[in-house]
A and B are shown apart, each in its own frame.
Chain A
Amino acid sequence: MATKLFAAIDVGSYELNLKIVEFGPNGMREVDAVRYRLDLGTDTFSTGKVSIEKVDELCRIIGEFAKIMKSYHVTEYRAYGTSAIRETKNTHILIDQIEQRTGIRIDVISNSEQRFLDYKSVASKGDDFDKTIGKGTAIIDIGGGSIQISLFDNDKLDVTQNMKLGVLRLRERLNNLAAKPSRHGALLDEMIGAQLSVFDKLYLKNRKIENLIIVDDYISPITLKRTMDSDTPGFINAERFEAFFERLKVMNAVEFSRKYSVALENISLVFVSAQIIRSVIALTGAKTIWCPGVSLCEGIAYEYGESKKLLVSPHDFEEDIVACARNIGKRYMSDDKRSQTLESICMTIFDAMKKRHGLTERDRLLLRISTILHDCGKYISLYNLATCSYDIIMSTEIIGLSHAEREIVANVVKFNHRFFDYDATVSGVEHLGEEAYMKIAKLTAILRVANGLDKSQKQKFGCIKATLKDDVLTITVRTNKDITYERGMFEMRADFFEEVFCVRPQIKHINKL
């Protein structure tokens, strides 16, 4: 297999990263990596815009990145901007500036996409990752503004939750409180504990967590350095972490900086990060901590490698997204069995219509999620199901989905329960673009037909088959139960399906008797 070079760029809140990665027979290998400290977050979070000086410097560094890429003859890259770029008022202007001046196009990703890529960056560690998530594991991804805790069960992602407990944010809060330094530890404990206790009640419950995986910029480098010569670099036990934390509390900043090779100005952030981790250890009872020392760039590269089939991931990330969606559904008292039936029907129709619908594998995933969350709004209101479902989905982060994708799912679910708004302006999807509008229409059509087939919610069909011939989609159902109601509901939805696909769906009932 010939090798291929790829560049991943991460424009973060306080650091710019470039990694040149080589894909070869042995998987993914880092060939070059540069980091540059540039605080964009302070500008964005305080004034809402990145200052002109910072823009100039940002363009200069991205330009240097482009030169490095050129020196390696790299032609393919992905460049992502995260919260500082995402939350600035003039995002589009900024991105355009960068592209005009450097030739590099920055795509802005949502927090959920970013965390999913961070998660993939951990997965890029291969055996260590597979070994670790085999047991009850939590990943704690610590950023400047927020943290993301993801729980695994039987090596599948089960729950993921974002909390506004990022290191910069907490440090800012501490500074605003103007408390004595000796009180900082206790105050942090309170701030962190308040949100973690909610997380505990909602998600942890009696879950057994043995391993904690840390993704951060402060504790990970220290841990890696200190364990470099050990048999398991990056791994330490909870006792050792506790001992480190105690040393951190008593050592003066200069001493700590020297001993652990940490810049003096970052010591406070090291402390906050350590406190967060310590709190999570106390909450979960985790015994082992793993700091794989990864960054968003690894995740970007890993995802690229997967998409181009340059590497085969033993882990099914799509199932993680689905698992998270199921968990969200569970939270809103969705009927598991119903969702599964609906999902099965939708997938059958989707697969049968492959030659006609022009949708992608990704769209198939969106349809799956739509089926899982199709009636989450019932938790709020049986009457206002469409709006409530839409609002719930739009208010929830679904890890791995971009904001645009989430909005597609929300609209599909909404239109499943009410008439489709042909006017994009009225339906509020104009900003998503024509392609997204069509996706919503097509996925809605499939979901509505499938919904019609199980309108009684009694899961009357054991299995269904769908075949497309000429302009007719024949859905064969085998059951000995009365399907008069389903047939009626199906017919009402078939019109929209035919309108969208120019294919008439029809039921073929085979009575087992």
Chain B
Amino acid sequence: MGKADFSNPEYYYNRELSWILFDKRVLSEANDKTIPLLERIKFLSITASNLDEFFMIRVASLKDMDNAGYKKPDIAGYNPRQQLKLLNVATHDLVKEQYDVYDTLVEQLREKGIDIYKDDSRLTKKQAVFADRFFEDYVYPVLTPMAVDSSRPFPLIRNKSLNIGAIVRKKEDATQDYEFATVQVPSVLPRIVEIPNEGTEGKAYILLEKIIERNIDKLFLNYDILSMCEFRVMRNADLAIDEEEAADLLKEIEKQVKKRQWGEAIRLEINEGADSRLVNILKSELKVKREERYSIAGPLDLTFLMKMYDIKGYDELKEKEYTPQPVPALIDCTDIFEAIRKEDILMHHPYESFEPVVGFVKTASTDPDVLAIKQTLYRVSGNSPIVAALAEAAENGKQVTVLVELKARFDEENNIVWARKLEQAGCHVIYGLVGLKTHSKITLVVRKEEDGIRRYVHLGTGNYNDSTAKRYTDVGLFTCKEAIGEDATAVFNMLSGYSEPAGWNKLSLAPLWLKDRFIYLIGRERDNALAGHQAHIIAKMNSLCDPDVIEALYEASSAGVKIELIVRGICCLRVGIPGVSENITVRSIVGNFLEHSRIFYFENNKKPEYYCGSADWMPRNLERRVEILFPVEQDNLKERLKSILMTELNDTKKAHNLQSDGTYKKMSRARKSISSQQIFCEEAFSVASKAIEGTDKNDVMQTRRFIPE
């Protein structure tokens, strides 16, 4: 029997279709009756913002390729046009599901006393007065209605903006032809407006566009409004920057971010049942094809639902907020450097607080013995305490080097602001390497101590963003091991424009040789299996679509390696193919916290190795980004990582298992319900409590708190 051709397209799943399945898994959370109602609303909102981004980047990219006549098939054998066709069906299906769930949730919300009016037909007199006054006082002054005629061309409709289109005709002449008019629903005002709810304890809301529609005649005084509808346009939003030619990358990105508003229209959402004249005008002016039109049986742009989550007075409809626990090794810690010298420290966020990482930078910024602080910033929070600490460090005379990745998609403007602020404070700001996004998460603090220079390093799988650190799962490591300190120094020297060092100790970097490293590690398991030794891989990541890595996994599986993958999102690998992937299982965990950590375990014939890193198994990570993979070598920390992986493999409540037909299936109800995220919360609380016992009892009040049900 010949060797299987592991590059056979039949063994791969299309990346975009796989992403749709991921969004469906998120949608399934919105459909899960065991989850509190407002949490389900939040999930539904997330599927909507996910889908928006998917269109603006992925679908747009496919369209670009198709327009350019690019026909090269992807790893699953589909060319761009074929993918667009398949996606068209899948996305329409997903959108329909979204609105089915929306209808269900709105109904359930009403039962709980949160009433979202579909339109103005249910407004009482008092409510109508309120709505109209609201319109006059707040909305009317900021509206810019635009009519389209021979002297006024069709306006540029901004990307993602919600608009009301209308067919109008001049009042004095009924024989005249109709005209098209449009007004953008202002994004500076809240989308969802609370209106007085008489006689009941609950709350009532109406959408802003409904208030506008109710008063639209005030915008076109001399016109009759023949029909109207809401519409929304999605445009190609990927930046096209030639970094080689851009003399000033910062200015170029600022320019391109502005242009994002006017990319090619790739999706048109419009109310179901809209006037066909409206539909035709929009179709023609925006140049969208039939399959790119989405008739929506509900309010457009469901991202407004995220605002619903913040409603006061309905805590019973939400999960109790989890407060990240203190990191046990740092409880009662007065000197973080001393703690790190004692031993390496592993943190598991958001179960454990991100505060120590912020504190690490803050402490370094004022420590007189610290000579230099270096950090990569990919996505930072607004008013980031880390950015403030870095600026302070520079003002205190320390050498501060910050690599700000300007090309963090949709965070470009945010990052430009922080870059400028840091430069003004005296930091040396680097904008990364031409053609590569710096995605690694690393901080280096160089300190002059009594016995010489010591380097303290933080490496992580998540961004230096204290806000997302409360919502995403990630792991981070503090260490002052010389081998890693040397490598960290070399990383920043390389990012500053210097040559690669002659050798590396512990860290593996992309795009240098990280991919080769992974393929080597997988290959080593394969060789061990062939030699009759124990061979096992457990890998947790966000996405898996690199064909070389998948091929290596297939080879390993066919040699007998047991491979357990925890892949949150896209997975182009197919399971259950005889002779190819029988030994591979894939599960996706979608829960309250966004699974974001990347952890890798290789059995290595009874000498297990654990790695964490910033890279997923995607070509963009392994070949086009600066990423870091770091080993975790301290025995107790290896045990911890093992425990994390095993707990996730035992999750029966939030895990979706990939089937051989490409679909995902949750565990049946008969089994014991285990939520890995819940277990981590409980464990973190328990461990922190035990660690605090025996310390000042007053401190207990600082630690906390509520455990999710």
Instruction: Give chain A's interface residues, CB within 8 Å of chain B.
Output: 3, 5, 15, 22, 24-25, 29-37, 64, 67, 70-73, 220-221, 224-225, 228, 258, 261, 293
Question: What's the nearest-Cβ distance from chain B to residue A261, in Å?
Answer: 6
Other A-B pairs, 18, CB within 8 Å; known A71-B446, A72-B371, A72-B448? A3-B451, A3-B453, A5-B453, A22-B452, A30-B486, A31-B489, A32-B489, A32-B493, A33-B489, A33-B490, A35-B498, A35-B499, A72-B453, A73-B448, A225-B502, A261-B500, A261-B512, A293-B502
A36 vs B399: C-alpha distance when bound (angstroms): 20
With the chains together, A37 CA to B497 CA distance in Å?
Answer: 10
Task: Give the distance in Å from the alpha carbon of A462 to the alpha carbon of B451 in the complex.
Answer: 52
Contact status of A24 and B452, CB under 8 A, knowing A32-B493, A72-B371: yes
A221-B502 in contact (CB<8A): yes
- Decide yes or no whether B113 CB sits under 8 A from chain A: no
On chain B, the residues within 8 Å of A3 by CB distance are 451-453
Q: Which residues of chain B are within 8 angstroms of A72 by Cβ–Cβ distance? A: 371-372, 446, 448, 453
CB distance from B450 to the nearest CB of A (A): 8
Size bin of chain B's contact surface: 20 to 34
A217 to chain B, nearest CB (A): 9
B489, B493, B503, B512: the one contacting A293 at CB < 8 Å is B503
- Nearest-neighbor residue (CB-CB) of A64 within chain B: B496
- Please tell me if B70 contacts chain A, counting CB pairs below 8 Å: no
* B314 interface residue per 8 A CB criterion: no
Measured between beta carbons, the chain B residues less than 8 angstroms from A261 are 500, 512-513
* Cβ–Cβ contact A34 & B452, under 8 A: no
Kindly identify, within residues 488 to 509 of chain B, every residue whose CB is under 8 Å from any CB belonging to chain A. 489-490, 493, 496-505
**From residue A40, how far is it (CB to closest CB) to chain B in Å?**
15
Contact B453 A36 (CB under 8 A): no
With beta carbons under 8 angstroms apart, the residue of B371, B452, B500, B505 that contacts A73 is: B371
Which residues of B sit under 8 angstroms from A29, Cβ to Cβ?
A: 452
| Whole-angstrom distance between the Cβ of B455 and the nearest chain A Cβ | 8
Question: When chains A and B are docked, how far (Å) is the Cα of A41 from the Cα of B343?
Answer: 48
A residues less than 8 Å from B513 (CB atoms) = 261
Could you tell me the distance between the alpha carbons of A204 and B502 in the complex, rounded to whole angstroms?
32
B447 to chain A, nearest CB (A): 11
Contact with A along B355-388 (1 / 0, CB 8 A): 0000000000000000110000000000000000
Whole-angstrom distance between the Cβ of B568 and the nearest chain A Cβ: 30
Which chain A residues border B493 with CB–CB below 8 Å? 32-34
Do A221 and B451 have beta carbons less than 8 Å apart? no
Q: Which of B478-494 contact A (CB under 8 A)?
A: 486, 489-490, 493
**A261-B448 Cα distance, complex, nearest whole Å:** 34
The chain A residue sitting closest to B505, CB to CB, is A228
Q: From the candidates A15, A22, A70, A225, name the one contacting B453 in the complex (CB within 8 A).
A: A22
What chain A residues lie within 8 Å of B496 (beta carbons)? 34, 64
A71 touches B503 (CB 8 A): no
Q: Shortest 9 CB-CB distances between A and B: which pairs? A: A71-B399, A35-B499, A3-B452, A221-B502, A34-B498, A34-B493, A224-B503, A31-B453, A24-B452
Instruction: Report the Cα distance A225→B501, complex, angstroms.
Output: 11
Q: A33–B501 contact, CB under 8 A?
A: yes
Q: Which residues of B contact A (CB under 8 A)?
A: 371-372, 399, 446, 448, 451-453, 486, 489-490, 493, 496-505, 512-513, 516
A15 to B501, CA, bound (A): 12
Inter-chain contact B452/A221, CB cutoff 8 Å: no
Give the contacting residue for B503; candidates A64, A67, A225; CB below 8 A.
A225
Chain A residue nearest to B513 (CB atoms) is A261
A224 touches B497 (CB 8 A): no
Chain B residues contacting A37 (CB-CB under 8 Å) are 499
Query: Nearest CB to that of A225 among chain B residues?
Result: B503
Least CB distance from B457 to A in Å reads 14
CB distance from B607 to the nearest CB of A (A): 12
In the assembled complex, the Cα of A72 lies from the Cα of B497 at a distance in Å of 19
Q: What's the nearest-Cβ distance from chain A to residue B511, in Å?
A: 11
- B453 engages A221 (CB within 8 Å): no
A selection of 17 A-B contacts at a CB cut-off of 8 Å is: A3-B451, A15-B499, A22-B453, A24-B452, A30-B486, A36-B498, A36-B499, A71-B371, A71-B372, A71-B399, A72-B446, A72-B453, A221-B502, A221-B503, A225-B502, A225-B503, A293-B503
> Contacts of A73 on B, CB cut-off 8 Å?
371, 448
B448 touches A224 (CB 8 A): no
Give the CA-CA distance A124 to B510 in the complex, in Å: 32
- Residues from chain B with a CB closer than 8 A to the CB of A24 are 451-452
Q: Is there an interface contact between A35 and B453, defined as CB atoms closer than 8 Å?
A: no
Report B412 CB to chain A, min CB distance, Å.
27
Beta-carbon contact of A35 and B501 below 8 Å: yes
Q: Which residues of chain A have C-beta atoms less than 8 A from B448's C-beta? A: 72-73
Instruction: Report chain A residues within 8 Å CB of B490.
Output: 33
B133 shortest CB reach to chain A, Å: 62
Contacts of B499 in A (CB 8 A): 15, 34-37
Docked Cα-Cα span, A32 to B496, in Å, equals: 13
Complex Cα gap A30–B451 (Å): 14
B576 to chain A, nearest CB (A): 33
Query: How distant is B556 from chain A, measured CB to nearest CB, in Å?
Result: 21
Distance A228 CA – B502 CA, assembled complex (angstroms): 11
Measured between beta carbons, the chain A residues less than 8 angstroms from B502 are 220-221, 224-225, 293
CA distance A293 to B505 in the complex (A): 14
In the complex, what's the smallest C-beta–C-beta distance from A269 to chain B, in angstroms? 15
In whole angstroms, how far apart are the Cα atoms of A71 and B453 in the complex?
Answer: 12
Please, which residues of chain A bring their CB within 8 A of the CB of B503?
221, 224-225, 228, 293
In the bound complex, CA of A72 to CA of B489 (Å): 13
Complex CA–CA separation, A64 to B497 (angstroms)? 11
Alpha-carbon distance between A29 and B499 when the two chains are bound, in angstroms: 20
Chain B residues near A70: list those with CB within 8 A.
Answer: 399
Tell me, in angstroms, the Cα distance from A29 to B489 when the chains sit together. 14
CB B642 to nearest CB in A, in angstroms, measures 23
Q: Cα distance A3–B14 when bound, in Å?
A: 58
Nearest-CB residue, chain A, relative to B493: A34
State the Cβ distance, B145 to closest chain A Cβ, in Å.
56
A34 to B501, CA, bound (A): 8
A72–B513 Cα distance when bound, in Å, is 30
Shortest beta-carbon distance from B524 to chain A in Å? 12
Q: Which residue of chain A lies nearest to B498 when distances are taken between CB atoms in the complex?
A: A34
Closest CB in chain A relative to B452 CB, distance in Å: 4
Residues of A within 8 A of B446 (CB): 71-72
Distance in Å from the Cβ of A218 to the closest Cβ of chain B? Answer: 10
What is the bound-complex CA distance between A221 and B504, given in angstroms? 10
- List chain B residues, Cβ under 8 A from A31: 452-453, 489
Report the Cα distance A221→B503, complex, angstroms: 7
The smallest beta-carbon distance between B372 and chain A, in angstroms, is 5
- Residues of B close to A30: CB separation below 8 A: 486
Smallest CB separation, A20 vs chain B (Å): 8
Q: Collect the chain B residues with CB atoms within 8 Å of residue A225's CB.
A: 502-504
Contact across chains for A36 and B452 when beta carbons are under 8 A apart: no
Output the least CB separation between B429 and chain A (Å).
Answer: 14
CA–CA, A24 and B493, complex, Å: 24
Residues of chain A within 8 A (CB-CB) of B486 are: 30
Please report the C-alpha to C-alpha distance between residue A225 and residue B372 in the assembled complex, in whole angstroms.
Answer: 29
Q: Using Cβ atoms and an 8 Å threshold, which residues of chain A touch B497? A: 36
- A67: chain B residues at CB < 8 Å are 399
Inter-chain contacts of A36 with B (CB < 8 A): 497-499
CB-CB under 8 A from A34, the residues of chain B are 493, 496, 498-499
Cβ of A15: which chain B residues have Cβ within 8 Å of it? 499
CB distance from A56 to the nearest CB of B (A): 15
Q: How far is the CB of B513 from the nearest CB of chain A, in Å? A: 6
**Distance in Å: Cβ of B154 to nearest Cβ of chain A:** 51
Please report the C-alpha to C-alpha distance between residue A220 and residue B512 in the assembled complex, in whole angstroms. Answer: 18
Which of chain A's residues have a CB closer than 8 A to the CB of B489? 31-33
Smallest CB–CB gap between B386 and chain A, Å?
20
Taking the nearest CB of chain A, how far is it from the CB of B586, in angstroms? 29
Residue of B nearest to A228 (CB): B503
Nearest-Cβ distance from residue B400 to partner chain A, whole angstroms: 9
Whole-angstrom distance from the CB of A220 to the nearest CB of chain B? 7
Q: Give the distance in Å from the alpha carbon of A220 to the alpha carbon of B501 in the complex.
A: 12
Which of B371, B452, B490 has most A Cβ within 10 Å?
B452
